[in-house]
Structure 1
């Protein structure tokens, strides 16, 4: 069992940063300075916790000049394929729906393996694949 909650304090943010470190920096070899950026303070963060409150997933969203960007979706390797990714995306989408206006442009940079997950939430690919931090992605978008 797990739960996905807003990371509203430093303790929860520390847990989600640990997941991002494990998944992106260690597993996917993204440079730490690319993973942790100047948008941390302005972003709305989420952390997924197991039944013992250990971190198992993360995500964030933030306002940009284009709309709302969803990013930093990560799931601990041992939790993949168990519905965690869907639960994280749902929690983020529910939060955005509470805070943003209908019709707002939502977008994200999806790793190729995650395209089917985001498609379940109405996101569509746009344009060609592109490399971000050595990993191939698609731009995906939808309206709120």
Structure 2
């Protein structure tokens, strides 16, 4: 059965509540991230909600930093992993960035590096730990 994946930029509180619920489940619940590290920069970020057949399935965001544009908080609920939701989120976030977004980067969890490599991100620098999880900084090559 082919499921319909839809990714929308969201600003309404009801949609943001779904985004935050997904992140709470994945990062705080599954990955044991401290909640105080999870909830930061919300007001300055552009948020995205992925749905599969209308059901909330994934979330992500981007924000402008002093370095450039950072893609972050990519989370897909367990039941929807391996179905293209993560790829759809990356595509939507990249498509939404401003035209002048020359420096685009992210901190990828080790298991997600191959996903971002499909979109022309490359690892830069050594592995590091963030919120108790191993990451690589990745930079978009244009």
Correspondence for 1:132 among 110, 115, 130: 130
> Within 5 Å, which residues of 2 pair with 1:1-144?
1-37=4-40, 39-51=41-53, 53-96=54-97, 99-101=98-100, 104-143=102-141
Give the distance between the partners of 1:116 and 1:123, measured in 2 at CA.
9
Q: Secondary structure at the match of 1:121?
A: coil
Give the distance between the partners of 1:32 and 1:43, measured in 2 at CA.
17
Q: Secondary structure at the match of 1:100?
A: coil
Taking only aligned residues, the RMSD between alpha carbons, in angstroms, comes to 1.1
Displacement over 3 Å in runs of 4+: none
Gap regions ≥5 residues in structure 1: none
How much has 1:142 moved relative to structure 2? 1.7
Gap regions ≥5 residues in structure 2: none
Q: How many residues are paired up?
A: 139
Q: TM-score, normalised by structure 1?
A: 0.93
How much has 1:143 moved relative to structure 2? 4.7
